């Protein structure tokens, strides 16, 4: 692991090399600026513990990128339980074609997310302070994302009603994702899942496998 001490004496993981040529200079600079905000304020504002700062890039920023290839071009994305901004803020920075709604039920986290949007000038992001359950009938997303929010059996009722027919839930999951799927089989049927698939990804700049659970919602029947 590559650690560095910043101007404020915070011990944090350094960004991986090659980011600017992979993502483009401006995008990479925004990611570095976002990491800087988290290093300065993340612990103070109750977003990340000191242990997490030591793996801010690999465990959080780069890990969040695992979902990006599964989001359609120009999709409307709802990130449920964004917290510090994972994966929603990372998606907004790297994929400028997307429109993102970052949802968190905790007011101080919604405030943090609004500060990030303002400081990084992210025009494609809206922050909503709400429980995802309260948004049913108010949003119609192509993609819903979630990381470290709840086990699938809880997540399905919170997220599937926010999706339009043919849309996908993309959840970053740990190694026990298959058990979570087994545990939620009856709910997959109830919430009109067409299929569920696990994509194993090694995100840019990391060496560890990450699992992206994709649950595709059935198309809505059209009556003529
Ligand atoms: C463990 S944190 C994970 C945050 C972020 N996704 C990450 O990966 O670091 C879970 C977040 O989900 C939020 N949350 C929990 N239940 C929620 C719900 N029903 N609707 C919206 N947000 C919720 C919490 O406030 C918290 O910020």
- Compute and round to an integer the Cα radius of gyration of the chain: 17
Nearest-atom index, ligand 1, CA of 104: 22
Nearest-atom index, ligand 1, CA of 146: 6
pLDDT of residue 223: 59
Which residues of the chain have a pLDDT value below 50?
Answer: 224
Q: C-alpha angle 121/158/113, rounded to 5°?
A: 20
Q: Where are the alpha helices (DSSP H) in 95-197?
A: 107-119, 152-159, 177-183, 185-190
Tell me how far apart the alpha carbons of residues 22 and 90 are, in angstroms, rounded to a whole number.
Answer: 15
What tokens does 7 get? 């101007």
Side-chain half-sphere of 16: how many Cα atoms within 13 Å?
A: 19
Q: What is the mean pLDDT of the chain?
A: 94
Cα of 157 from ligand 1 centre, angstroms: 15
Cα of 224 from ligand 1 centre, angstroms: 40
Nearest-atom index, ligand 1, CA of 88: 6
pLDDT of residue 224: 45
> Annotated binding residues for S-adenosyl-L-methionine, as ranges?
81, 86, 132-133, 147
Q: Best substitution site from 45, 64, 81, 210 to test ligand 1's pocket, by max atoms within 8 Å of Cβ?
A: 81
H helix or E strand, kind and range, residue 97:
none
The full set of domains in the chain, from first to last, is 3-217 (3.40.50.150)
Contact between 38 and 93 under an 8 Å Cβ cutoff? The reply is: no
pLDDT of residue 220: 85
Cα of 149 from ligand 1 centre, angstroms: 5
**CA-based nearest residue to 34, from 50, 56, 51, 6:** 56
Nearest-atom index, ligand 1, CA of 149: 10
Cα of 213 from ligand 1 centre, angstroms: 17
**Dihedral angle of Cα 4, 8, 10, 14, to the nearest 10 degrees:** -30
Residue 146: Cβ within 10 Å count: 27
């Amino acid at each position: 692991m590559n650690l560095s001490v910043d101007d404020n004496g915070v011990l944090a993981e350094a960004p991986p090399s090659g980011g600017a040529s992979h993502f483009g200079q401006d995008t990479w600079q925004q990611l570095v600026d976002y990491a800087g905000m988290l290093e300065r304020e993340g612990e103070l504002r109750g977003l990340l513990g000191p242990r997490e700062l030591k793996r801010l890039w690999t465990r959080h920023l780069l890990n969040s990128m695992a979902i990006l290839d599964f989001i359609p071009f120009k999709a409307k994305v709802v990130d449920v339980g964004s917290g510090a901004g994972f994966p929603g803020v990372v998606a907004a920075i790297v994929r400028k074609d997307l429109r993102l709604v970052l949802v968190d039920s905790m007011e101080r986290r919604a405030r943090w997310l609004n500060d990030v949007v303002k400081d990084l000038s992210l025009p494609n992001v809206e922050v909503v302070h709400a429980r995802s359950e309260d948004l049913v009938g108010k949003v119609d997303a192509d993609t819903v994302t979630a990381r470290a929010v709840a086990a699938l059996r809880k997540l399905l009722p919170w997220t599937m009603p926010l999706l339009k027919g043919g849309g996908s839930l993309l959840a970053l999951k740990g190694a026990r994702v298959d058990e979570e799927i087994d545990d939620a089989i009856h709910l997959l049927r109830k919430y009109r899942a067409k299929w569920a698939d696990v994509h194993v990804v090694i995100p840019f700049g990391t060496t560890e496998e990450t699992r992206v659970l994709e649950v595709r919602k059935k198309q809505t029947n059209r009556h003529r």
